[in-house]
Structure 1
Amino acid sequence: MTENFTLMASSARVRRLSFWSIIIGAGILLLKFAAWWITGSVALFSDAMESIVNVVAAGVAWYAIRVSHIPADANHPFGHHKAEYLSAVLEGAMIAVAALLILQEAVMAFAFPQPLREPGIGLAINALAAVGNGAWAFVLVRAGRAARSPALVADGRHLWTDVVTSIGVIAGLLLALATGWLWLDPLMAVVVAFNILWHGWHMVSASVQGLMDVSVESGDLAEIERTIRENCDGALEFHDLKTREAGRARFIEFHLVVPADMTVERSHHICDRIEDALEAAVAGAQVTIHVEPDHKAKNG
């Protein structure tokens, strides 16, 4: 009962945070577009374009998280966990579109460079937006890891990328103001475009791995093996251990060899003990155990 309540509370918090990402992202977007409007900077325009991706992606992540928390049904007996990976893939695709638009503006600015208007006010507004983004990114990544939510973690990591982008843009524009080199403005926009393309590629790659049923990380796998060994008293061995991750769920499957004369009730008791231990040791564990007689043993 306590475990179910904890899972429900965690799911509710993930959904609540994903909704607030839309609201906060919209506020950050308004600040960045204000900074661009005041200054006319192509670099600040690129930063604002990335925030458009943030807001749209936050909306997609909110919907995907809601879908991923729908209980298993007849058509989806293993649940809807993978919906979160789809949001991260879509966010990566939107990043690519934003990068191409930024590059287009940068090329135009290289051809027709313009002096910045009111740079002090614009940079101060952009710095305020960066601070807000950084604080919210920290909240999302921390909560997403705790709840094993790929969509929330992806959203937070992209915001961290946005923070780094903003810092680079501000530094580049300060240098442009100090030197009078107007070409630094579109150059920073180009750097921003390639930076978000790089992060978008890594985001998509990680999500595709999840869609391809990637195994759990080596540290988690070692913990799973240790937990099985410590709780399989009465069984002869276990083998053919397979794992996969799907959002916050981690599926664990293996064969458990027991003496041929062991009763079904006794073998079931051992399985229950192992399942309880795995669910306590591994967050989101969903365990399937195939019981086999001793002639199926592989280790002697």
Structure 2
Amino acid sequence: VAALIGQKEYGKVLKRSTYITLITVLFLILIKAIAFWFTGSIVILSTLADSFFDFVITATNFFLVRMSLREETDQHRFGFGKYEALSSFIEAMFIFSVSMFILFLSAQRVISPETIPHTNIALAVMIVSIIVNFFLVRYQSSIIKETESISARAEHTHYFQDLLTNLAVIIAIVLVGNFNLTLADPLFAAAISIYMIYSSIGIFRKSIDILIDKEIDDKLKDEIKQIVMSHPKVDGFHDFKTRQSGSSQGKFFMQMHIEINEHTSLNESHNIVDQVEEQILKEFPDAEVILHVDPNNIVEKKVWND
């Protein structure tokens, strides 16, 4: 499990990642546009369109992630963490839309196949694209390990698809250029589009989970339960609810009713709650914790490890 980092460091890491990604994508757009100009290949067009939308999406993500890291205001007391989930949602919609468009163009090219001129130029460009994408994906993997960001994970998924896409494009170019298999161009483009549609649905679902306040991971919840029950004066708990902010695994909101002996004084009950909260925040410094005390004699059923 990746180590959880603070919100300030988290923001710096994501900003740096975004700058590197934008510069990389601009370079890929340039060389792919040159390749498409010379070849007119539909499969290269699919990768060019993909890279163009990569740039738009990454720039949008940068804005929305920066919004998500803003401090809460009087009108937004729970902060802006869902902006990041919103950016991933938008990215999934873009990927889905572009993939459907390329799928449509592929179907047209199957009906009316065309040869690809200047395949050597196309091949050289795609080899360079693969090398660039490989290093970008490796870099983004390190960002995910460091931040566990949903937007970084969405971008990593997409650029890993780009890597596979470029490999498929090279195969298609070789088949068309060396063996005159003109159908390889649209068929490979269609296969790439279908795979991207499938992946976009996964990103869409994860984004929706955060936007509709799905519970945090069971592993994190179990850690919190262990912390709460480790206090010697806590008899149990109930009404344990959580939701993730969207920025990182460590940024979440939780509320819980903890059960203590009915003879405990108000001051001591308050101290117990403070101690439990302190231990939770020690492990999850960016969490927002709300604890309520109930005397155990009025609780109908204690809940533990549910």
CA offsets 1:184-233 (integer angstroms, 9 cap, x no match): 11111111221211111111111111111111122222222222222x22
Look up the match of 1:294.
Answer: 296
CA spacing shift, 1:96–1:296, aligned 2, 3 Å: same
CA spacing shift, 1:128–1:258, aligned 2, 3 Å: same
Displacement of 1:46 in angstroms is 0.8
Task: Give the Cα–Cα distance (whole angstroms) in 2 for the partners of residues 140 and 33 of structure 1.
Answer: 25
Displacement of 1:180 in angstroms is 1.6
The 8 Å contact of residues 67 and 83 in structure 1, kept in 2 or not, is answered as yes
The one-letter code of the counterpart of 2:265 is T
The 8 Å contact of residues 126 and 169 in structure 2, kept in 1 or not, is answered as no
Task: Give the Cα–Cα distance (whole angstroms) in 2 for the partners of residues 28 and 179 of structure 1.
Answer: 27
Task: Give the Cα–Cα distance (whole angstroms) in 2 for the partners of residues 164 and 172 of structure 1.
Answer: 12
Task: Give the Cα–Cα distance (whole angstroms) in 2 for the partners of residues 272 and 135 of structure 1.
Answer: 47
Task: Give the Cα–Cα distance (whole angstroms) in 2 for the partners of residues 274 and 142 of structure 1.
Answer: 33
CA spacing shift, 1:147–1:283, aligned 2, 3 Å: farther
CA spacing shift, 1:143–1:299, aligned 2, 3 Å: same
Task: Give the Cα–Cα distance (whole angstroms) in 2 for the partners of residues 126 and 293 of structure 1.
Answer: 67
**How do 1:89-100 residues align onto structure 2 when only pairs under 5 Å count?**
89-100=89-100
Q: CA RMSD in A?
A: 2.1
- Count of matched residue pairs: 295
The 8 Å contact of residues 228 and 234 in structure 2, kept in 1 or not, is answered as no
The 8 Å contact of residues 140 and 152 in structure 1, kept in 2 or not, is answered as yes
Runs of 4+ in 1 over 6 A off after TM superposition: none
Task: Give the Cα–Cα distance (whole angstroms) in 2 for the partners of residues 11 and 77 of structure 1.
Answer: 20
**How do 1:206-245 residues align onto structure 2 when only pairs under 5 Å count?**
206-230=206-230, 232-245=231-244
Task: Give the Cα–Cα distance (whole angstroms) in 2 for the partners of residues 195 and 144 of structure 1.
Answer: 22
The 8 Å contact of residues 68 and 79 in structure 2, kept in 1 or not, is answered as yes
The one-letter code of the counterpart of 1:299 is K
Q: Indicate the SS of the match to 1:256.
A: strand
57-66 or 128-137: bigger deviation: 128-137
Displacement of 1:257 in angstroms is 1.3
Which residue among 247, 251, 254 is the counterpart of 2:253?
251
CA spacing shift, 1:90–1:261, aligned 2, 3 Å: same
Provide the TM-score with structure 1 as the length reference: 0.90
The 8 Å contact of residues 253 and 289 in structure 1, kept in 2 or not, is answered as yes
The 8 Å contact of residues 253 and 287 in structure 1, kept in 2 or not, is answered as yes
Displacement of 1:6 in angstroms is 4.2
Displacement of 1:54 in angstroms is 0.9
The 8 Å contact of residues 57 and 155 in structure 1, kept in 2 or not, is answered as no
Look up the match of 1:103.
Answer: 103
Task: Give the Cα–Cα distance (whole angstroms) in 2 for the partners of residues 176 and 9 of structure 1.
Answer: 48
Task: Give the Cα–Cα distance (whole angstroms) in 2 for the partners of residues 195 and 292 of structure 1.
Answer: 52
Look up the match of 2:287.
Answer: 285
Displacement of 1:182 in angstroms is 0.8
The 8 Å contact of residues 29 and 48 in structure 1, kept in 2 or not, is answered as yes
The 8 Å contact of residues 19 and 59 in structure 1, kept in 2 or not, is answered as no
The 8 Å contact of residues 32 and 47 in structure 1, kept in 2 or not, is answered as yes
The one-letter code of the counterpart of 1:15 is K
Q: Indicate the SS of the match to 2:262.
A: coil
Look up the match of 1:81.
Answer: 81
Q: Indicate the SS of the match to 2:291.
A: strand
More helix per residue: 1
Task: Give the Cα–Cα distance (whole angstroms) in 2 for the partners of residues 50 and 87 of structure 1.
Answer: 17
**How do 1:154-233 residues align onto structure 2 when only pairs under 5 Å count?**
154-230=154-230, 232-233=231-232
The 8 Å contact of residues 106 and 186 in structure 2, kept in 1 or not, is answered as yes
Asked if 1:276 is matched to 2:275, the reply is no
The 8 Å contact of residues 6 and 285 in structure 2, kept in 1 or not, is answered as no
Task: Give the Cα–Cα distance (whole angstroms) in 1 for the partners of residues 275 and 86 of structure 2.
Answer: 35
The 8 Å contact of residues 227 and 281 in structure 1, kept in 2 or not, is answered as no
Task: Give the Cα–Cα distance (whole angstroms) in 1 for the partners of residues 276 and 134 of structure 2.
Answer: 42
Displacement of 1:69 in angstroms is 0.5
Q: Indicate the SS of the match to 2:293.
A: strand
Task: Give the Cα–Cα distance (whole angstroms) in 2 for the partners of residues 76 and 19 of structure 1.
Answer: 28
Provide the TM-score with structure 2 as the length reference: 0.88
CA spacing shift, 1:6–1:107, aligned 2, 3 Å: closer
The one-letter code of the counterpart of 1:48 is L
CA spacing shift, 1:253–1:109, aligned 2, 3 Å: same
Task: Give the Cα–Cα distance (whole angstroms) in 1 for the partners of residues 166 and 190 of structure 2.
Answer: 13
Displacement of 1:56 in angstroms is 1.0
Percent of aligned pairs with the same amino acid: 23
Task: Give the Cα–Cα distance (whole angstroms) in 1 for the partners of residues 236 and 99 of structure 2.
Answer: 54
Structure 2, gaps ≥5 residues long: none
